[in-house]
Chain A
């Protein structure tokens, strides 16, 4: 991999109270990629995220940004955090101000930008997450999903190169999930590296082009998009289950109901389209035979 934007090299971290966070953790996140960090609850995903922006410092091993080991001085960490944004799972733990606009302005203000620049970035970020109409409302009157979007806007306003999201879809209803998915697609098109921690295998199968699977603080496996369809039995063995789309595709193939495809479908919509295509062929066949 040519110069990954973020990498961990044999990182080990144990919390003060004794619980193990990460053990001998080595992984790389390619520039501009869509990486999914998968694992059950307690596998070390959040700990990993906190290492990527320098909040936690490994007791062994090193964390690299752009090929360079992290400098843990105050100024260097500030620069790192302007380039690596982290959106936590719980919005209540991130929102500092009761005003939406004020909270989103927190990040750019910390970067020392001029007020007019900060204002422009805030408006841009709020528009990107679809909250422009709610910018004047107090934070405590927003729904959970809207609060999550304020948190994302707060990080977007800093215009980082990498955005790490810890369980971004948890607690969101279907329309909000679709909106968030669209926002992530836009960010990806802009070349921003996205890292999402999740235990939702279906989402990862549809969205990610790189997978890292964590188990008990260790990296159990790392796979690229091309490898994933072939390694699904191993994924199941790791306790994460199997992506429903992959399972259905395999069964439909074995039953001979759809032809084998050069690229297996990764999303529900794609699989549905294939089934309908195959169905139309069958109907045409039967009609022709008559």
Chain B
């Protein structure tokens, strides 16, 4: 939701999504091509600063989204950095640091952070509808795009329905005890499941009523100054790539 709200009101909302996507892609490639850990961490920091300072995302909101995935990174790094060996002594398992893996772990962390910040750059600055339109222009299979479009729209419909149902349940003490809460939650899931089917039928009827013939067709947004945006992002991305290759 946080990314959602900022995607619609950040400073770079009206920059062509293709230009933003191009920079993200080139940043990803740079992250995979680079070997120097300091470059990877610098790349991550640079992208984070670009998102916060350039697009105007406040630090506190950025961190709220940035920090949770770090948990996965820690687990991944730990799997590499710690070795578990079986021993003949009383305690059958020996857990120890594996210093030989440290360079690889650091590189992994750097690469992951760079990729994460690149993705957050795109996510924070581009609304989902523009992203889907970009994928449409890149000739992604129509069926996948339709699933994304409808799925994105329906997330909010069902969130609101779930909120309404839980509010109504709470008003009738549906969450007063653990047992009641379990039952209420189950009921809510059942009701939402039926709603999924009902709403899908209604949406299909509505689409047919607007002369729909199969594929969902939408008009893409217009973006001004696209050429300069592409030039800037392309130049920036290629610079990163060159640096990644050379350093």
For B156, list chain A residues within 8 Å (CB).
98, 139-140
Q: Give chain B nearest CB distance to A199 CB in angstroms.
A: 21
Of the candidate stretches B67-75, B84-92, B99-107, B206-214, the one touching chain A is B206-214
Of the candidate stretches A74-82, A212-220, A254-262, the one touching chain B is A74-82
Tell me whether A96 and B219 are in contact (CB under 8 A).
no
Tell me whether A74 and B218 are in contact (CB under 8 A).
no
Tell me whether A110 and B206 are in contact (CB under 8 A).
no
- The digit string for B150-174, where 1 denotes a CB below 8 A from any CB of A, is 1011001100100000000000000
Interface of B, helix, strand, loop or mixed by DSSP: helix
For B152, list chain A residues within 8 Å (CB).
98
Residues of A83-113 contacting chain B, CB below 8 A:
85-86, 88, 90, 92-99, 101-103, 105-111
Total B residues in contact with A, Cβ cutoff 8 Å: 32
Q: Is B140 an interface residue (CB 8 A)?
A: no
Highest count of chain A CB atoms <10 Å: which of B127, B199, B210, B221 = B210
For B153, list chain A residues within 8 Å (CB).
95-98, 139-140
Of the candidate stretches A17-25, A115-123, A181-189, A278-286, the one touching chain B is A115-123
Q: Give chain B nearest CB distance to A87 CB in angstroms.
A: 9
Tell me whether B210 and A154 are in contact (CB under 8 A).
yes
Highest count of chain A CB atoms <10 Å: which of B153, B156, B219 = B219
Tell me whether A55 and B209 are in contact (CB under 8 A).
yes
User: Which single member of B128, B133, B149, B213 contacts A96 (CB below 8 Å)?
Assistant: B149
For B221, list chain A residues within 8 Å (CB).
99, 101-102
Report the separation of the CA atoms of residues A239 and B158 in the bound assembly, to the nearest whole angstrom: 37
Q: Is B243 an interface residue (CB 8 A)?
A: no
Q: Is B129 an interface residue (CB 8 A)?
A: yes
Tell me whether A111 and B219 are in contact (CB under 8 A).
no
For A98, list chain B residues within 8 Å (CB).
127-129, 149, 152-153, 156
Q: Is B216 an interface residue (CB 8 A)?
A: yes
Q: Give chain A nearest CB distance to B205 CB in angstroms.
A: 6
Report the separation of the CA atoms of residues A109 and B219 in the bound assembly, to the nearest whole angstrom: 7
- The digit string for A67-79, where 1 denotes a CB below 8 A from any CB of B, is 0000000100110
Highest count of chain A CB atoms <10 Å: which of B207, B217, B221 = B217
Residues of A42-73 contacting chain B, CB below 8 A:
50, 53, 55
Known A94-B203, A110-B213; contact A119-B222, beta-carbon cutoff 8 A: yes
User: Which single member of A88, A102, A111, A137 contacts B211 (CB below 8 Å)?
Assistant: A111
For A37, list chain B residues within 8 Å (CB).
none
Tell me whether A158 and B211 are in contact (CB under 8 A).
yes
User: Which single member of A81, A93, A97, A106 contacts B202 (CB below 8 Å)?
Assistant: A93
Q: Is A264 an interface residue (CB 8 A)?
A: no
Tell me whether A99 and B213 are in contact (CB under 8 A).
no
Report the separation of the CA atoms of residues A118 and B219 in the bound assembly, to the nearest whole angstrom: 8
User: Which single member of A82, A95, A109, A158 contacts B218 (CB below 8 Å)?
Assistant: A109
Q: Give chain A nearest CB distance to B125 CB in angstroms.
A: 15
Report the separation of the CA atoms of residues A158 and B217 in the bound assembly, to the nearest whole angstrom: 14
Report the separation of the CA atoms of residues A216 and B30 in the bound assembly, to the nearest whole angstrom: 69
Tell me whether B212 and A110 are in contact (CB under 8 A).
yes
Q: Is B175 an interface residue (CB 8 A)?
A: no
Q: Is B8 an interface residue (CB 8 A)?
A: yes
Q: Is A233 an interface residue (CB 8 A)?
A: no
Q: Which 8 A-B pairs have the closest CB atoms?
A: A93-B202, A105-B219, A140-B156, A109-B217, A94-B206, A99-B129, A107-B210, A110-B211
